[in-house]
Amino acid sequence: MAVSQSGRSWRKFKQNRFGVMGGVLFIILILIAIFASYLAPNDPYRVNLRNRLSSYSREYPLGTDTMGRCVLSRLIFGSRVSVTVGFVVVGISIAIGGLIGIVAGYFGGIVDSLLMRLVDIVIAFPRFFLLLTVVAIFEPSIYNVMIILGVTGWTGEARIIRSLVLSIREQVYIEAARAVGASNERIMVRHILPSTVVVIVVMATLGIAGAIITEAALGFFGLGVPPPTPSWGNMLFEGRGVFRRAQWLVIFPGLAIFITVLGINFLGDGLRDALDPRHVLKKQ
């Protein structure tokens, strides 16, 4: 009986304990984000100034913040920001990086050199400086943050996809498509793009983790998603001022980011090992 490629990959993925664990963590995170309002013990926005900075209790399992709001509930709702930012940012950066990578790799020559110089320029910019600049100039909002992260985060994707396309375009089936008169656009969309999907899936997975950390870093400076919307980054920002007195305010949001990113990295690594036997994506 013929074993399909996807079946083989799935079997290989299932053997990777860490990959499966990461996948489960990731699914749990998404479920938490979706069902946040059912899971949270309290209203994450309810201010209670009489009960500020209180420690762990039955009513507030992880204590309260500087405005007496429930830390656990805010953590649970904060996952929504992280999940949304992760997916949207990766969507934007894969779209830009994929387009530039495929066009550069497919056409080669002067188009390739021009596009790759553009990549060099963007890479030479200290990304976090750039992010701080842009966020400070425009009003910080979840939309601006996502657009900015996406628009500055595509260089690695472009480089990897380009090098992949350089080898794909030499394949016989591309030559065949050209021989039957397919246009460049058609070849790129119908023949090259599908061959890059595996690599894109792995890059996207790992990219989500990166986007979540970077958004939290902006939030940490008070430049991410603006309050009162809870995000793990702005919770750290709010906790920073009082972290000598109320350490739980900075410990738990960071732990949430850490566990999330760890899970996604495990998942990404597992997917790479299962899907990408030639290891186009180098192991770090």
Partner 1 sequence: MVAYIIRRLVQIVPIMVGISILSFGIIHLAPGEPGLILVTESTYVTEEFLAAERARLGLDQPIHIQYFRWFSQWIQGEWGRSMTGGRPVATLIWERIPMTILLSAATMLFILVLSIPIGMISALKQNSLIDHAATAGAFAGLAVPNFWFAMMLIIVFSIHLGWLPAAGARTLGARFDWWGPMVLDRLRFLVLPVLTLGLSGLAGLVRYMRGGMLEVLEQDYIRTARAKGLGERIVIAKHAARNALLPIVTILGFWVPALISGSAIIEAIFGWPGMGQLMVLAVFQRDLPLVMAVNTMGAVLIIFGNLLADVAYVFVDPRVKYD
Site of interaction with partner 1 (CB under 8 A): 117-118, 120-130, 132-134, 136-138, 209, 213, 216-217, 220-221, 223, 236, 240, 243-244, 247, 250-251, 253-254, 257-258, 261-262, 265-266, 283-284
Q: Which is nearer to partner 1, 43 or 120 (CB)?
A: 120
- Comparing C-alpha atoms, which of 205, 210, 216 is closest to residue 253? 216
Q: Which is nearer to partner 1, 1 or 137 (CB)?
A: 137
Q: Which is nearer to partner 1, 86 or 191 (CB)?
A: 86
Which residues does residue 106 pair with via DSSP β-bridges, in sequence order?
A: none
Q: Which is nearer to partner 1, 59 or 120 (CB)?
A: 120
Residue type, 5: Q
Burial class (CB in 10 A: 0-12, 13-18, 19+), 79: buried
- Buried-state track 162-192, b at ≥16 Cβ within 10 A, e below 16: bebbeebbeeeebeebeeeeeeeeebbeebb
Cβ 20 vs Cβ 14: under 8 Å:
yes
Smallest distance from the beta carbon of 281 to partner 1, in angstroms?
13
Smallest distance from the beta carbon of 127 to partner 1, in angstroms?
5
Cβ 86 vs Cβ 153: under 8 Å:
no
User: Helix, strand, or coil here: 70?
Assistant: strand
Smallest distance from the beta carbon of 77 to partner 1, in angstroms?
19
Smallest distance from the beta carbon of 188 to partner 1, in angstroms?
26
Smallest distance from the beta carbon of 161 to partner 1, in angstroms?
18
Alpha-carbon Rg for the chain, nearest whole angstrom, is 22
Q: Which two tokens stand for residue 231?
A: 């995000």
Smallest distance from the beta carbon of 198 to partner 1, in angstroms?
21
Q: Which is nearer to partner 1, 135 or 192 (CB)?
A: 135
Q: Which is nearer to partner 1, 68 or 254 (CB)?
A: 254
In 35-141, which residue ranges form alpha helices assigned H by DSSP?
Answer: 36-39, 71-107, 109-124, 127-137
Smallest distance from the beta carbon of 162 to partner 1, in angstroms?
16
Cβ 257 vs Cβ 208: under 8 Å:
no
Q: Which is nearer to partner 1, 164 or 209 (CB)?
A: 209
Which residues does residue 64 pair with via DSSP β-bridges, in sequence order?
A: 70
